[in-house]
């Protein structure tokens, strides 16, 4: 008998009718012969409402009391789903994160999972009971205090439990049909991706795709957990995220998708000498904030971009660092938009960057910054130019059977040819386009562990 971990997001358990639909899905899975462990998020916007309440009541950014309050949303969902399953004759047990054996590093508000003890859930499974685990929470490995994970932590909870239990797969149920070549709410011609490798999925999430949490993808890759992203509202096949399968296409190039983010702010810290760089980077990486488009200019200025929601955390960390060092004041500009083209070999393919710059230049879109990764090409632009950039690049690189618009011909060197296999991405027969000198460094993405799963849970941190 196979074992599946099924994680249902806040929209999937947003009201009584949807909770009943989830219960029917779990029952059907059991009747098909599978053992099931369920992970649930808080209902709808409950977490946002609880966070707003905490902000009204306390000036502290995070504390044990914050975690106690925020964790209640998931506990409500576990009890509600247990009631719905009982009505269908399915024995179920609500389980908090700590009671499920989830241990964290103890950092309040943004804890990381460091270990999962499979014994508590295994006991329920052997008794024929469906454990319903509260996502987004665990107990500190030292001291046992309740801690909440970073946003998206319920995805990570599901993947971590699947790894610890050696489950056959972790199914992530959400309000979209799967992973798309771009956000289908903004790009009408976006199409669903049937299979995608861990590395490409990680880069899509880094670029702004919100279908999975970054930490969940990293955890899945480190432990070789197959992840199935599916809709809880439709009977769609969804997207399988797993080990990379061979694809047809041009040697060294395989465009998989395009992600984007609004609300990017660029931070500049002037005159950061070589001696100060370790302290500055240590401070920045000590936060929970992902940095992108990082570079050091010739005048020793350090530049990077963050999401608007993360700016306050970075400002606070740098202010604390200045109390013990003489680094300059941070300067902020924005908001910008960021668009990321993702795929195998994008960073090294000689025709991709010129082609991208040509498409944007033909649309009159100025590029404010570039970061080149082995699997992701990220570009910064004015926020009002973001969606025109997304639509133009998706049409040029990801829409099958679409010829470039006539006005793009000069920018593309006058000619273009499409891949002979499936037509999913262009190879440009153009000379290197005139463009400003780019002094951004090549930023290497972390190499994800490629060892096969062996039952041992690995923390990607």
Measured N-to-C along each axis, helices 386-397 and 352-362 cross at an angle, to the nearest 10 degrees, of 130
Residue 361 assigned ligand-binding role: no
Residue 8 assigned ligand-binding role: yes
Residue 200 assigned ligand-binding role: no
Interatomic CA distance for residues 7 and 133, integer angstroms: 9
Residue 9 assigned ligand-binding role: yes
> Do the beta carbons of residue 157 and residue 102 sit within 8 Å?
yes
Residue 295 assigned ligand-binding role: no
Per DSSP bridges, beta strands 130-134 and 169-174 are unpaired
Residue 74 assigned ligand-binding role: yes
Interatomic CA distance for residues 147 and 138, integer angstroms: 6
Residues 6+ apart with CB under 8 A from 144: 98
Residue 252 assigned ligand-binding role: no
Residue 47 assigned ligand-binding role: yes
Residue 458 assigned ligand-binding role: no
Token pair, residue 173, equals 């149920």
The annotated binding site for substrate is made up of 47, 74
The annotated binding site is made up of 7-10, 47, 74, 174-175, 185
The annotated binding site for ATP is made up of 7-10, 174-175, 185
């Amino acid at each position: 008998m196979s074992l599946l971990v099924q994680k249902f997001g806040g929209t999937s358990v947003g009201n009584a009718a949807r909770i009943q639909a989830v219960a029917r899905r779990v029952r059907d899975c059991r009747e098909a012969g599978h053992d099931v462990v369920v992970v649930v998020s808080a209902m709808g916007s409950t977490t946002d409402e609880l966070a707003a309440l905490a902000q009204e009541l306390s000036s502290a950014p995070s504390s044990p009391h914050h975690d106690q309050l925020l964790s209640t949303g998931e506990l409500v969902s576990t009890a509600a789903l247990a009631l719905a399953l009982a009505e269908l004759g399915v024995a179920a047990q609500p389980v908090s994160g700590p009671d499920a054996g989830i241990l964290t590093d103890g950092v309040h508000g943004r804890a990381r999972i460091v270990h999962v003890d499979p014994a508590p859930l295994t006991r329920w499974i052997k008794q024929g009971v469906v454990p319903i685990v509260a996502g987004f929470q665990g107990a500190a490995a030292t001291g046992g205090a309740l801690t909440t994970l970073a946003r998206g932590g319920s995805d990570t909870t599901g993947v971590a439990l699947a790894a610890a239990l050696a489950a056959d797969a972790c199914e992530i149920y959400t309000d979209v049909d799967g992973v798309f070549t771009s956000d289908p709410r903004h790009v009408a011609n976006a199409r669903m991706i049937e299979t995608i490798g861990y590395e490409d999925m990680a880069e899509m999430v880094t670029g702004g795709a919100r279908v999975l949490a970054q930490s969940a993808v990293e955890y899945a890759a480190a432990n070789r957990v197959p992840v199935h992203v599916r809709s809880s509202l439709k009977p769609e096949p969804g997207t399988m995220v797993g080990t990379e399968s061979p694809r047809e296409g041009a040697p060294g190039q395989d465009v998989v998708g395009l992600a984007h983010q609004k609300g990017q702010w660029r931070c500049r810290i002037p005159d950061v000498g070589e001696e100060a760089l370790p302290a500055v980077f240590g401070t920045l990486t000590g936060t929970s904030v992902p940095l992108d488009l990082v570079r050091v200019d010739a005048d020793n200025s350090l530049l990077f971009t963050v999401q608007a929601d993360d700016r306050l955390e970075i400002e606070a960390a740098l202010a604390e660092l200045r109390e013990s060092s003489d680094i300059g004041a941070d300067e902020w500009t924005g908001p910008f938009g960021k668009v990321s083209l993702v795929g195998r070999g994008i960073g090294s393919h000689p025709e991709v960057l010129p082609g991208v710059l040509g498409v944007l230049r033909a649309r009159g879109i100025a590029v404010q910054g570039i970061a080149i990764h082995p699997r992701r090409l990220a570009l910064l632009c004015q926020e009002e130019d973001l969606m025109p950039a997304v639509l133009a690049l998706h049409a040029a690189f990801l829409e099958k059977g679409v010829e470039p618009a006539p006005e793009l011909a000069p920018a593309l060197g006058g000619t273009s040819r499409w891949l002979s296999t499936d037509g999913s991405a262009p190879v440009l027969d153009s000379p290197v386009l005139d463009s400003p000198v780019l002094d951004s460094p090549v930023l290497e993405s972390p190499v994800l562990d490629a060892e096969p799963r062996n039952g041992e849970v690995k923390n990607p941190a």
